[in-house]
Amino acid sequence: MTAAPVLKVEGLKKYFPVEKGFLRRVVGQVKAVDDVSLTIGAGETLGLVGESGSGKTTIGRCILRALDPTAGSIQFQIDDELTVDMASISKRELRELRRYANMIFQDPYYSLDPRWTILDIVGEPLRLSKLADGAELEDRVASLMDVVGLEAKHLRRYPHAFSGGQRQRIGVARALATNPRLIIADEPVSALDVSTQAQILNLLNDLQSEFGLSYLFIAHDLSVVEHISDRVAVMYVGKLVEVAPKDQLFFFPKHPYTEALLSAVPTPDPDVAKKRIILPGEIANPADPPSGCYFHPRCQYAQDRCREEEPALREIVPGQWASCHFAEELELVGAPQ
Amino acid sequence: MSDLPQSDNQAMNRAEPVIEIDNLGVHFALDEGALKAVDGVSFAIEERQMFGLIGESGCGKTVTAQSLMRLVPKPGRIVQGQINYHREQGGLIDLANVDPAGAEIRDIRGNEIAMIFQEPMSSLSPIHSIGNQLMEAVLLHVANSKREAYKIALEMLDLVGIPNPAQRMEEYPHHFSGGMRQRVMIAMALSCRPRLLIADEPTTALDVTVQAQILDLIAQAQTQFHMAVLYITHDLGIIAEICDEVAVMYLGRIVERGSVRDIFHNPLHPYTRRLLAATPRIGQHAERLQVIDGTVPIPIGLPHACGFCSRCPEMIAGTCDTALPALVELEENHFVRCFLHDERKEEAV
Ligand SMILES: Nc1ncnc2c1ncn2[C@@H]1O[C@H](COP(=O)(O)OP(=O)(O)OP(=O)(O)O)[C@@H](O)[C@H]1O
Ligand SMILES: Nc1ncnc2c1ncn2[C@@H]1O[C@H](COP(=O)(O)OP(=O)(O)OP(=O)(O)O)[C@@H](O)[C@H]1O
Ligand code: SF4
Ligand code: SF4
Ligand SMILES: [Mg+2]
Ligand SMILES: [Mg+2]
């Protein structure tokens, strides 16, 4: 991990309009991502967790500018000389820079076009970035197949002829094609079995050591996140509520939502007695969030202050940030050790 | 709800069996040949027991569950074995031999044996209100009048922790979050007080916090209604937390079966051991995870041999690939199917 981050996101916001009726009148806003700041170092993996709808995918898509952010800056270090703000570059610049960051998707079944051969799929980013074509492109794709552990003889086959794990390898090969610095992996193993999952996680690990890649790893399986990440960020209704090095976060959480998440992770050991924290109610609606601390209607430690005043994300101990008024006082329970 | 006592099945291990599956075989007649989805599966579930079924994708968990409800889709067919179900009013019935469209199974299905599936959206109709769907299920099985059905439906929604149940009855499935839809499905399944609940990956699509709510709910209902549960998942963590007994399936067969402690602390089958080793654990700090090389073969035209032999690092050439090991009780209530532990074979039929 070097000092200068590969990615530095500051004050990122993405609001979606809420439309109603025949005239599609805008009646409100979904604050899908609301003032999020984070950094990812070279060769570092930042895990991103949080409930469904909390804004994880939206962050990833803003970083790649698949979505235009509402506000904020996204400083992306292309190389030692050049750093750009992905949030404000033009479409033309974007086309040139797209090759430096790529995405791997959740579903290996739906993210690959069934009418394209593996050569088309993995080669497309190379063609779009005008990095290779013809025989050179084919050579490059063949070597990518080798990197992800697939045989090059399958180049002209279609996705349906591959298993789930193999398809996810194809997705990884495609994401690697343009030699990116940053990969956004959005639930890359959620659809896979434990054994296939282990293969893909090992592959991502190997590729990181070999090419010094940085990952933003989005997932809801906390055991997987703990395995692969260096640091972990926890989201709740569009905001980061805790960011910390993984051991800090998993064993000494400083936010009650993190504590609840950790208590809910099933432990593969029948002798570990745990008390699951059952959160009352539903996740807050991002179009109409609660007052004060968004987590207060479900938080077992909430007090009057929490209903009125929104807590800021503060550094509680060096490197560990949390947004809870009582982060210093509460003695929260981490994952069983 | 959450302060009801947790189930303690240890104290009840003299309970009666609810269902006994013996040598069940289910084949799909495909153009390429017979696909042996379930191939000689035997196990029993006792009253109030939480029985877990685990294994990789495609190993036959869902088809096993479908057989118990006689819901195996075409071209699938039960080709062998018995499913002896002990009826609520006493008496034994072999579900493997009833007419899958007949009155007997319809009387049991959704009434004495209920099932919840992985994707609640696909099992709820989008064009009927939640209340109507719940009441319909209740009317079919327990209630005699609409009034009574309404009352029971309301109670069930309240029981599964849906706030404002009266108002929620009027709403449609798309107004509900995934977790709430799954709770409605559970309410529906529980509304007839089943003796056996089959839960097939009921939390796979849900967040961990919602999963915790659902697992809690199933455990509560189990204690409250003295229900037996067949819980299917490939999440070993869930199995460790909620199950009493576990069967590990591979390629249509049970390869190991025993108490949850035996399976997690003393796994004997190479496949069970590797499944456990491939599971990431918090605080383990392993650079790499153990993998199982290769993939699950398609069970068409396979030789009469150990199903795991194409991937097993401990395979004994000339033995494992030429005969099928029998499922042997190595220790009390701990069954293993592997030549490393016992040389007994299962003859081909
Ligand atoms: N294109 C869009 N238009 C309107 N609202 C959107 C759009 N994309 C996302 N949202 C809303 O923004 C919020 C955040 O969604 P997002 O997909 O980022 O969540 P997530 O954390 O990735 O969830 P999951 O774990 O389910 O993938 C949700 O409320 C979602 O409904
Ligand atoms: N309708 C069907 N037609 C043909 N084959 C089927 C059908 N349903 C299941 N199979 C086959 O039967 C075998 C067992 O499938 P099953 O769905 O029981 O697996 P599973 O253990 O539930 O897997 P998963 O974890 O993916 O749900 C597989 O080889 C599958 O391809
Ligand atoms: S600020 Fe209050 S409501 Fe929010 S997490 Fe902290 S204690 Fe809970
Ligand atoms: S019977 Fe042989 S191949 Fe099968 S699991 Fe045992 S050792 Fe491995
Ligand atoms: Mg997402
Ligand atoms: Mg299944």
- Cβ atoms of B189 and B115 closer than 8 Å: yes
Whether B240 and A268 lie within 8 Å, measured CB to CB: yes
pLDDT at B255 over 80: yes
pTM: 0.90
Ligand 2 pocket check for B134: Cβ under 6 Å: no
Separation of first and last alpha carbons in chain B: 51
Q: How many Cα atoms occupy the beta-carbon half-sphere of B302 within 13 Å?
A: 21
Share of chain A above pLDDT 90, in %: 60
Give the number of residues written for chain B: 349
Looking at the partner chain, which of A199, A269, A272 has a beta carbon nearest the beta carbon of B291?
A199
Residues B203-245: tens digit of each pLDDT: 877 788 888 888 988 888 888 888 999 999 989 999 999 999 9
Closest C-alpha among B48, B42, B90 to residue B67: B42
Q: How many Cα atoms occupy the beta-carbon half-sphere of A262 within 13 Å?
A: 26
Q: What is the pLDDT of residue B313?
A: 95
Q: What is the pLDDT of residue B14?
A: 59
The answer to which of A140-144, A277-281, B204-208 has the lowest mean pLDDT is: B204-208
The answer to which of A154-158, A181-185, A316-320, B38-42 has the lowest mean pLDDT is: A154-158
Residues B275-304: tens digit of each pLDDT: 999 999 998 888 889 989 888 888 999 999
Which run of H or of E encompasses A210? helix A194-211
Whether B289 and A271 lie within 8 Å, measured CB to CB: no
Model confidence band, residue B12 (pLDDT cutoffs 50, 70, 90): very low
Q: In this structure, are strands A214-218 and A182-186 parallel, antiparallel, or unpaired?
A: parallel
The DSSP code for A192 is S
Distance (Å) from the alpha carbon of B157 to chain A's nearest alpha carbon: 14
CA A235 to centroid of ligand 2, rounded, Å: 36
Q: How many Cα atoms occupy the beta-carbon half-sphere of B40 within 13 Å?
A: 15
Strands (DSSP E) contained in B147-243 are 196-200, 228-232
Task: Name B141's bridge partners.
Answer: none
Model confidence band, residue B11 (pLDDT cutoffs 50, 70, 90): very low
The answer to which of B59-68, B142-151, B327-336 has the lowest mean pLDDT is: B142-151
Q: What is the pLDDT of residue B122?
A: 63
Q: What is the pLDDT of residue A153?
A: 82
Closest C-alpha among B140, B168, B172 to residue B154: B168
User: Residue B66: left if φ>0, alpha if ψ -120 to 50, beta else—which one?
Assistant: alpha
Q: What is the pLDDT of residue A165?
A: 78
Q: B215 by DSSP, 3-state: which? A: helix
The answer to which of A238-252, B88-102, B160-174, B258-272 has the lowest mean pLDDT is: B160-174
Whether A51 and B238 lie within 8 Å, measured CB to CB: no
* Amino acid (one-letter) located at A28: G
CA distance B234 to B254: 14
Model confidence band, residue B10 (pLDDT cutoffs 50, 70, 90): very low
Q: What mean pLDDT do residues B314-331 have?
A: 96
Measured between beta carbons, which residues in chain B are less than 8 angstroms from residue A223? 237, 279-282
Return the residue in A107, A192, A193, A248 with the most chain B beta carbons within 10 A, the one to mutate for interface testing.
A193
CA distance A131 to A125: 8
Point out the ligand 4 atom lying closest to the alpha carbon of residue B307. 4
CA A204 to centroid of ligand 6, rounded, Å: 27
Q: In this structure, are strands B253-259 and B324-325 parallel, antiparallel, or unpaired?
A: unpaired
CA B294 to centroid of ligand 2, rounded, Å: 19
Question: Ligand 2 atom 24: the closest Cα is on which residue?
Answer: B57
Pocket of ligand 3 (CB under 6 A): A 256, 293, 295-296, 299, 301-302, 306, 311, 324-326
Closest C-alpha among A122, A101, A102 to residue A113: A122
Model confidence band, residue B4 (pLDDT cutoffs 50, 70, 90): very low
Model confidence band, residue A110 (pLDDT cutoffs 50, 70, 90): low
Q: What mean pLDDT do residues B338-346 have?
A: 96
- Cβ atoms of A100 and A77 closer than 8 Å: no
Residues A39-90: tens digit of each pLDDT: 999 999 999 999 888 999 999 999 999 999 999 999 999 988 899 999 999 9
What is the sign of the dihedral through the CA atoms of A193, A197, A198 and A199?
positive
Q: What is the pLDDT of residue B302?
A: 92
**Tokens encoding A210:** 């070999």
Q: What is the pLDDT of residue A108?
A: 62
Q: How many CB atoms lie within 10 A of CB B90?
A: 6
The alpha-carbon radius of gyration of chain B (Å, integer) is: 21
Looking at the partner chain, which of A165, A196, A278 has a beta carbon nearest the beta carbon of B2?
A278
Question: Ligand 3 atom 3: the closest Cα is on which residue?
Answer: A296
Point out the ligand 4 atom lying closest to the alpha carbon of residue B339. 1
Q: What is the pLDDT of residue B1?
A: 39
Q: What mean pLDDT do residues A238-267 have?
A: 96
Share of chain B above pLDDT 90, in %: 56
CA B319 to centroid of ligand 4, rounded, Å: 9
Q: How many CB atoms lie within 10 A of CB B188?
A: 25
Q: What is the pLDDT of residue A95?
A: 85
C-beta pairs of A61-68 under 8 Å, 24+ apart in sequence: A62/A12, A62/A14, A62/A33, A62/A87, A63/A7, A63/A9, A63/A101, A63/A182, A63/A184, A63/A216, A64/A98, A64/A101, A64/A102, A64/A103, A64/A184, A65/A89, A65/A94, A66/A103, A67/A14
Question: Ligand 2 atom 26: the closest Cα is on which residue?
Answer: B57
